[in-house]
Amino acid sequence: INVFYQPLEKIAALIETYPKGIAGFRRYQELLATEPDIVDAPGAREVDVPRGDVAFENVTFGYSPGRPVLTDLTLRVPAGETVAFVGPSGAGKTTLLSLLPRFYDVEAGRITVDGIDIRDMTMASLRRQIGIVQQDVFLFAGTLRENIAYGRLDASEPELRDAARRARLDTLIEDLPEGLDTVIGERGVKLSGGQKQRVAIARIFLKNPPILILDEATSALDTETERAIQASLLELSQGRTTLVIAHRLATIRNADRIVVLTPDGITEEGRHEDLLTAGGAYRRLHEAQALHQKGAGLAAAE
Ligand code: ATP
């Protein structure tokens, strides 16, 4: 699809962030390219889901016929819970989470939000309920204000400022020559990786969806920035159903539930301590990651 011919709200509802780099960009292109296949079903309803209970029921999905990535997967996430997905690369974590905003449709089974099959909702109303933070953030050439307002175009000035404050953008705004009206991006003030993440977070505070999808950064920002971002994300996740592809021990440890996804499906589920005691795949993953993070000098980020 050509994004420039889409109404802006529709795009805004779809994208908080935009992965950059060839791989990320390609993946995003693929997601956009698949979009026209997925259209509102006849009779699809505009739905508001006040709670945000999410359920994957016997979900099977693959990118090519006969090669399922997910098979008969069932997972219920009560409203407000934070679930951290961990598991080997290629197990299907990203795939699973991309089914919720309907970047793809399930082959079999169903996904529901507050008990309603997401295919019975209009795409616009489904995506209004979901905020997505990915590793790399898409900022367009324009002012900081415009970039934040992208989260919800009809937001008032106080709402916008509140979102910026909660994303801890206030210091940046004070430091910029024209505050919120400073032009950022290619032709303006360049923001750091951490500052861009904050813009993405501000967008979601503004949008205020009941469901949050986080794809945690694998590559580290410096420890202090990382901690600040983690704190904002933790605040953002409060009171929202949060599904996070977790790479950070701190995130994993604080999750209400950890789900270990492997090519064989969900092999373990539970809280950090319980899974450590169980001594299965999670424990082995944890030990490997703890070592890795120490090696990378990230142990302090815990
Ligand atoms: P990682 O932690 O490395 O991101 P993951 O658990 O998120 O891995 P996915 O990215 O969901 O795993 O990939 C699951 C499988 O689906 C892999 O075999 C991958 O090659 C394949 N896959 C992912 N995206 C696509 C796509 N757009 N088209 C075709 N195959 C894909």
DSSP result, 99-157? HTTTSS--SEEEEEETTEEGGGB-HHHHHHTEEEE-SS----SEEHHHHHHTT-TT--H
Cα angle: 170, vertex 172, 177; to 5 degrees:
115
d(CA 226, CA 254): 16
Judged on CB neighbours under 10 Å (0-12, 13-18, 19+), 47 is middle
Measured CA to CA, the distance from residue 188 to residue 288 in angstroms comes to 42
30 lines ligand 1 (CB under 6 A): yes
User: What pLDDT does 22 receive?
Assistant: 41
- Strand order of the sheet with strand 116-117? 67-77, 54-64, 108-113, 116-117
So what's the pLDDT on residue 120? 94
- 102 or 138: whose pLDDT is higher? 102
Give the residue among 138, 133, 153 at the shortest CA–CA distance from 212: 133
User: Mean pLDDT, the chain, as a whole number?
Assistant: 83
What pLDDT score was predicted for residue 37?
Answer: 63
- Take atom 31 of ligand 1 and give the residue whose Cα is closest: 63
pLDDT value of residue 223 = 74
For residue 27, how far is its CA from the centre of ligand 1 (angstroms)? Answer: 10
Between 2 and 275, the more confident residue is: 275
24-74 tens-digit pLDDT? 444 544 454 444 567 888 888 888 877 999 999 999 999 998 899 999 999
Cα 212 to averaged position of ligand 1 atoms, centre (Å):
20
Q: What is the pLDDT of residues 173-225, one digit of tens each?
A: 999 989 999 999 777 788 888 888 899 999 999 999 999 999 887 665 677 77
pLDDT tens digits, residue range 101-120?
999 999 999 999 999 999 99
CA 26 to ligand 1 center in whole angstroms: 12
Find which of 58-62, 143-147, 194-198, 232-236 is predicted with most confidence, using mean pLDDT.
Answer: 58-62
Q: What are the beta bridge partners of residue 54? A: 77, 113
Output the pLDDT for position 9.
Answer: 45
Q: In testing the pocket of ligand 1, which one of 85, 93, 104, 244 has its CB within 8 Å of the most ligand atoms?
A: 93
Please determine, for residue 14, whether its predicted confidence score (pLDDT) is greater than 60: no
CA of 264 to the centre of ligand 1 (A): 14
Phi, psi for 107 (deg, rounded to 5): -85, -40
Query: Residue whose CA is closest, atom 24 of ligand 1?
Result: 95
Residue nearest to atom 30 of ligand 1 (CA): 63
Residue of higher predicted confidence among 294 and 236: 236
Token digits of residue 283: 């424990």
For residue 131 the two structure tokens come to: 């905020």
Residue 68 backbone dihedrals phi, psi, to 5 degrees? -65, 140
Query: What's the 149 CA to ligand 1 centre distance in angstroms?
Result: 32
Q: Is the CB of 254 under 6 A from ligand 1?
A: no
Answer for the pair 203, 169: CB distance below 8 angstroms, yes or no: no
Ligand 1, atom 26, lies closest to the CA of 63
pTM of the model: 0.83
